[in-house]
Amino acid sequence: MCGIVGYTGAHEAAPVLVAGLRRLEYRGYDSAGLATLDRDRLTVRKRAGRVRALEELLESESAPGRCGISHTRWATHGPANDRNAHPHLGGRGGAIRVAVVHNGVIENHAALRRELESQGFEFHSQTDTEVIAHLIARELETTDDLFEAVQRAMPRLEGTYGLGVISPSRPGEVVGARFGSPLVVGLGEGEHLLASDPVAIAPHTAQVAFLQDGEVVRLTPHDFEMRHLEHGPITPRIDRLDWKPDAVELGGHAHYMIKEIREQPETIVNTCRGRLRRSEATAVFGGLNLSPRQLRRVRRVVFAACGTSWHAALVGEYLIERLADLPVEVEYASEFRYRNAPLDDRTLVFVLSQSGETADTLGALREAKRRGHPTLAIVNTVGSTIAREADGGIYLHAGPEVGVASTKAFSAQVAVLTLLALYLGRLRHLSFPDGLAVIDAIEQVPALLGEVLKTEPLIEEAAGRIASAHSALYLGRDLHYPVALEGALKLKEISYIHAEGYPTAEMKHGPIALVDRHTPCIFVVPRGSLHAKTLSNLEEVRARDGLVISVGTEDDQAVAGLSQVFLPIPEAPEVVQPLLAVVPLQLLAYHVARQRGCDIDKPRNLAKSVTVE
Ligand code: M6R
């Protein structure tokens, strides 16, 4: 999806802008461009293709100036070519008054285009964005205040936008505006930045202010000013990114995905820090904004989420029902928002989202709020739209997740849900010793994950057995069923091998028809309550000449004996087994994709944050 970076400060803008675009590359794009201002001299450089192509262009044709905007485009209106790449310019009669970069979709662009053409504005691209540039330019004919001109143009736009705007009449000034597409301001020393994702600007500053819908910001090197279109001037909330300076660097890893898989022991430590209270055998959360009394009244929990977050929610369902004896339903956010799901006044609605910007999940949250329900969010990105709009919630503290294939965020979500199950359980019938046992189990996880990660060479070898497969089945029971779903999603996302996850016992009701020697069956079967019942399913696959790969407890001879490939995880209490069992599946997907030569951090057709319906 498109990315925006803007800069004004003491340094040359172009290198800062290009480095920012590089950090957004993982989001997927097909062209890149920038515009800079050197006093009132505007320079535009853009290219279809990778950011590297833009860098090559800049080597021969520089873009001087200490102020600028840049963009990576993911084509919607008009094909990916140099002409349609952003920035787009606005003005008529040969006067260029403004350069604009835009994320989002302008739904009324055709009508606006006709109107502007009839007034002498010429169009040079097929994009919807060019109407924004001309609308702002038209306002700049009657005011020289860019901030004002953007605010006058905004009400004409229908659809979604995050904007970065500069004008030769306002050297050193960058204006940003948001409606539906994320935008964040970075507050540095003698410099200010604008971005669609804090990842782009994190190396410059940890102080950020997230724009909300209808807000517009003016940045100069030493100052920034924010207004809401209807409510006037606002004092923004400044958030602090609790990221290490190198959090968005590869740091010697071949891909972000493998870096983030390997970070998981530390992720769990960070997610659980300060949230375990041994003296009461429970968990504590700062931001739920609901008292124990209110939470005890809850009779039902609904989780709404998408993709990997939906899988984490399913683990949460099993855990909360097991530890807190509370009915849980897990909904696809995209379905929930339009479905007439009955919710009574004792239903608590949670949404889960790594990015906090997923349009479907945000829609589900807004629908639940509209119906008057208290809404809570489990989110990774501090200050994101979902985090702000929910009535309360829990941050994952997993640090920035750059890999499109979510890994450490899943683990952090499952860890939070384990703590939530403990907390809700202790508000109900879960005994003190049983609560302590959960705490003991969680505290072991980082060290046990370290053990799992040591098996990577074995997993890399196993990947060779499925790298040429066309299809794979992932099977797990109880808490491991969602883990199987997540393993299958990881494989299909980055290696493009078709994969399906099923509850193990469901296999005999249909999927078993697929089993032959070309179809790997990956069983998630650590020792636990349903372990014995799964062994017969392994036998069934063996009997049909299928390839059995299993993730099991390290000394489990029964499972190992039935498997062609056995991937061990350490012995651990059942409630934390999903946190361990998912890691071999993440590593398996990674190494299969690597062996198939796939672009792991930029998988085809996918975006890290899906901000469209
Ligand atoms: O940011 P979110 O957690 O709301 O994202 C939800 C899904 O789009 C996301 O989990 C997606 O399925 C990932 N690519 C999974 O790896």
Q: Do residues 239 and 363 share a domain?
A: no
Q: Do residues 133 and 190 share a domain?
A: yes
Task: Single out the residue of 326, 396, 393, 325 nearest to residue 355, CA to CA.
Answer: 396
pLDDT at 556: 96
User: Which ligand 1 atom is at minimum distance from the Cα of 308?
Assistant: 10
Choice between 1 and 276, residue whose per-residue pLDDT is larger: 276
Q: Do residues 225 and 82 share a domain?
A: yes
pLDDT at 262: 97
Nearest CA to ligand 1 atom 12: 307
Boundaries of domain holding 552: 454-613
- Just list the catalytic residues: 2, 608
pLDDT at 67: 98
Nearest CA to ligand 1 atom 7: 307
pLDDT at 350: 96
Show contacts of 143-149: CB within 8 Å, 24+ apart. 144/169, 144/170, 145/170, 146/98, 146/170, 146/173, 146/175, 146/218, 147/173, 147/175, 147/216, 147/218, 147/225, 147/227, 149/98
What is the pLDDT averaged over residues 414-430? 97
Choosing from 26, 255, 309 the residue with most ligand 1 atoms within 8 A of its CB, the one to mutate for a pocket test is 309
Could you say which DSSP state residue 72 is in? E
pLDDT at 82: 87
- 259 Cα: distance to centroid of ligand 1 (angstroms): 18
Find out whether the beta carbon of 586 lies less than 6 Å from any atom of ligand 1. no
Find out whether the beta carbon of 384 lies less than 6 Å from any atom of ligand 1. no
Measured on CA atoms in the order 383, 385, 389, 390, is the torsion positive or negative?
Answer: negative
Q: What six digits make up the tokens of 571?
A: 């012995």
User: Which ligand 1 atom is at minimum distance from the Cα of 307?
Assistant: 12
CATH number where 310 lies: 3.40.50.10490
Give the Cα separation of 579 and 269 in Å (integer). Answer: 13
Burial of 230 (0-12, 13-18, 19+ CB in 10 A): exposed
Most confident of 81-85, 284-288, 409-413, 609-613: 409-413
Q: What six digits make up the tokens of 441?
A: 């189990």
pLDDT at 242 over 80: no
How confident is the model over 454-509, as pLDDT tens digits?
A: 999 999 999 999 999 999 999 999 999 999 999 999 999 999 999 999 999 998 89
Q: Do residues 386 and 471 share a domain?
A: no
| Percentage of residues of the chain with pLDDT beyond 90 | 79
Q: Do residues 372 and 483 share a domain?
A: no
pLDDT at 394 over 70: yes
pLDDT at 608 over 80: no
pLDDT at 510: 87
Q: Between the CA of residue 105 and those of 130, 178, 180, 286, 613, what are the distances in Å?
A: 12, 12, 10, 37, 12
- 94 Cα: distance to centroid of ligand 1 (angstroms): 45
Range with the poorest average pLDDT among 78-82, 113-117, 133-137: 78-82
Tell me the pLDDT band of 245, cut-offs 50, 70 and 90.
low
| Alpha-helix runs per DSSP H in 342-431 | 359-370, 385-389, 408-426
Q: Do residues 364 and 331 share a domain?
A: yes
How confident is the model over 222-231, as pLDDT tens digits?
A: 999 999 999 9
pLDDT at 548: 95
- 544 Cα: distance to centroid of ligand 1 (angstroms): 35
Tell me the pLDDT band of 303, cut-offs 50, 70 and 90.
very high
- 172 Cα: distance to centroid of ligand 1 (angstroms): 37
Range with the poorest average pLDDT among 76-80, 173-177, 437-441: 76-80
Tell me the pLDDT band of 1, cut-offs 50, 70 and 90.
low
Find out whether the beta carbon of 353 lies less than 6 Å from any atom of ligand 1. yes
Show contacts of 591-594: CB within 8 Å, 24+ apart. 591/459, 591/460, 591/462, 591/463, 592/463, 592/466, 592/467, 592/491, 592/495, 592/497, 593/494, 593/495, 594/254, 594/463
In the Cβ-directed half-sphere of 489, how many Cα atoms lie within 13 Å?
A: 20
Q: Do residues 303 and 365 share a domain?
A: yes
Tell me the pLDDT band of 249, cut-offs 50, 70 and 90.
confident
Give the Cα separation of 531 and 485 in Å (integer). Answer: 18
The CA-based diameter of the chain, rounded to the nearest angstrom, is 80
Instruction: Among 185, 217, 244, identify where a domain stops.
Output: 244
How confident is the model over 86-95, as pLDDT tens digits?
A: 999 999 999 9
pLDDT at 153 over 70: yes
- 308 Cα: distance to centroid of ligand 1 (angstroms): 5
Q: In the chain, how many domains are there?
A: 3
Please name the residues in contact with 506: beta carbons below 8 A apart, sequence gap of 6 or more: none
Averaged confidence pLDDT in the chain: 94
Q: Do residues 10 and 91 share a domain?
A: yes
pLDDT at 345 over 90: no
Nearest CA to ligand 1 atom 14: 405
For residue 511, say if its preceding peptide bond is cis, omega within 30 degrees of 0: no
What is the pLDDT averaged over residues 169-185? 95
Choice between 258 and 609, residue whose per-residue pLDDT is larger: 258
CATH number where 87 lies: 3.60.20.10
Q: Do residues 238 and 291 share a domain?
A: no
- 352 Cα: distance to centroid of ligand 1 (angstroms): 10
Measured on CA atoms in the order 578, 579, 580, 582, is the torsion positive or negative?
Answer: positive
Tell me the pLDDT band of 241, cut-offs 50, 70 and 90.
confident
Q: Do residues 238 and 263 share a domain?
A: no
Give exposure, 599-611, as e/b (b: 16+ Cβ within 10 Å). Answer: ebbbbeebbbbbb
How many CB atoms sit inside 10 A of residue 440's CB? 13
Give exposure, 169-196, as e/b (b: 16+ Cβ within 10 Å). Answer: bbbbbbbbbbbbbbbbbbbbeebbbbbb
Choosing from 610, 611, 612 the residue with most ligand 1 atoms within 8 A of its CB, the one to mutate for a pocket test is 610
Instruction: Among 212, 227, 244, identify where a domain stops.
Output: 244
Q: Do residues 156 and 256 share a domain?
A: no
Instruction: Among 192, 218, 244, identify where a domain stops.
Output: 244
In the Cβ-directed half-sphere of 262, how many Cα atoms lie within 13 Å?
A: 14
Find out whether the beta carbon of 405 lies less than 6 Å from any atom of ligand 1. yes
Q: Do residues 317 and 432 share a domain?
A: yes
Choice between 70 and 80, residue whose per-residue pLDDT is larger: 70
- The CA dihedral of 603, 605, 607, 611, to the nearest 10 degrees, is -170
pLDDT at 247 over 80: no
Q: What six digits make up the tokens of 428?
A: 């109900």
pLDDT at 374: 87
Find out whether the beta carbon of 413 lies less than 6 Å from any atom of ligand 1. no
What is the pLDDT averaged over residues 553-565? 96
Give the Cα separation of 586 and 267 in Å (integer). Answer: 15
Nearest CA to ligand 1 atom 11: 307
What is the pLDDT averaged over residues 533-538? 89
Tell me the pLDDT band of 513, cut-offs 50, 70 and 90.
confident
How confident is the model over 278-296, as pLDDT tens digits?
A: 999 999 998 989 999 999 9
Tell me the pLDDT band of 605, cut-offs 50, 70 and 90.
confident
- 311 Cα: distance to centroid of ligand 1 (angstroms): 10
Task: Single out the residue of 198, 233, 199 nearest to residue 215, CA to CA.
Answer: 233
